[in-house]
Amino acid sequence: MIHGIINVYKEKGFTSHDVVAKLRGIIGQRKIGHTGTLDPDATGVLPVCLGKATKLCDLLADKSKTYEAVLLLGKTTDTQDITGTVLTERETRGLINEAVKSCVYDFIGQYEQVPPMYSALKVNGKKLYELAREGKEIERKARPVTIHEIQILEMDLPRVRISVTCSKGTYIRTLCHDIGVKLGCGGCMEELVRTRSGRFLLSGSATLSEVEEHQRGGKMESIVTPIDAMFTGYRNIILTGEALQRVYNGNTFTPAEASEHYSDGENVRVYDAEGQFIALYEYYGDQRYFKIVKMFFDRNEMTEELR
């Protein structure tokens, strides 16, 4: 079984679940999960976790992301992107470049964003887009999102190409819609590419066909990021004997067993003597012990591999 992360380039027309399903067929293993949904018409970076790396899915989904989008002013749709049914169309000839720039940049920072009806968020066990397709619209609470940075890459009104770096849970099509509302002419998203998700960049992504080529050629390791490579900023600890046995079971160990000085709240990578990555631990200085954060060792799996 492969354990690690593949930076997949999600092509237009595929859902994130489609990508996972196709990878299961290409690689021949079931334990695969993605790290954040991309709309079918969107393209770009989709980190996919394999094997024990699926334990990282939530952690990676929490990372900030960067998108390149085309905002089309003067038009609103029920999906807030160009694929939806047009609700309004307004004249945009009176728009001034500087006013549009000022409005776009006003969204930098935290703002309250109302999730769109056409989204995968669940209400009472049902996805919002399922309700929307039934012609139902329900009240959604605004949620705080953070726009870390916006760059205007190109402006040819009524279109504005922007690069947006934002927090988890931000809907770029809703951002486009909200900019249009603030300008008074309406707006929707015409194109979307995710160019970065955490440490994974568009330039290092591989299409499904390229992944398949690597699999056939026996070169998968060249496109799989090892689990511990996600934590290279943390110091590593090699344990043996009784301390290692406790860690295998997710129990605590002490600084004396690690034989270095550590700061309160510091995260560390724990390995065995063979160099196998076991777990992430955090140091609790007031209690002078390390406590488990995330376990990556699977005793059952290791037993199966040794058979």
CATH number, domain of 192, equals 3.30.2350.10
Token pair, residue 33, equals 């999960």
The single residue listed with the structure tokens 């992301």 is 65
Q: Are residues 80 and 106 in the same domain?
A: yes
The two most distant CA atoms of the chain are separated, in Å, by: 74
Q: Are residues 23 and 129 in the same domain?
A: no
CA dihedral 29, 19, 118, 155 (to 10 degrees): 150
CA dihedral 247, 249, 251, 255 (to 10 degrees): -10
Domain of residue 209 covers 4-63+199-228
Q: Are strands 159-166 and 65-73 parallel, antiparallel or unpaired?
A: antiparallel
**pTM for this prediction:** 0.87
Q: Are residues 119 and 237 in the same domain?
A: no
Q: Are residues 141 and 167 in the same domain?
A: yes
Q: Please tell me the total count of domains within the chain.
A: 3
Q: Are residues 223 and 192 in the same domain?
A: no
CATH of the domain at 239: 2.30.130.10
Q: Are residues 92 and 56 in the same domain?
A: no
Q: Are strands 159-166 and 143-156 parallel, antiparallel or unpaired?
A: antiparallel
Q: Are residues 33 and 73 in the same domain?
A: no
pLDDT tens over the chain, length 307 residues: 899 999 999 999 998 899 999 999 999 999 999 887 888 889 999 999 999 999 888 888 788 999 999 999 999 999 999 999 999 999 999 999 999 999 999 999 999 999 887 766 777 677 776 666 767 777 778 899 999 999 999 999 999 999 999 998 899 999 999 999 999 999 999 999 999 999 999 999 999 999 999 999 999 999 999 999 999 999 999 999 999 999 999 999 988 877 778 899 999 999 999 999 999 999 998 899 999 999 998 766 543 443 3
Q: Are residues 203 and 192 in the same domain?
A: no
Q: Which residues are catalytic?
A: 39
In 29-84, alpha helices (H): 57-61
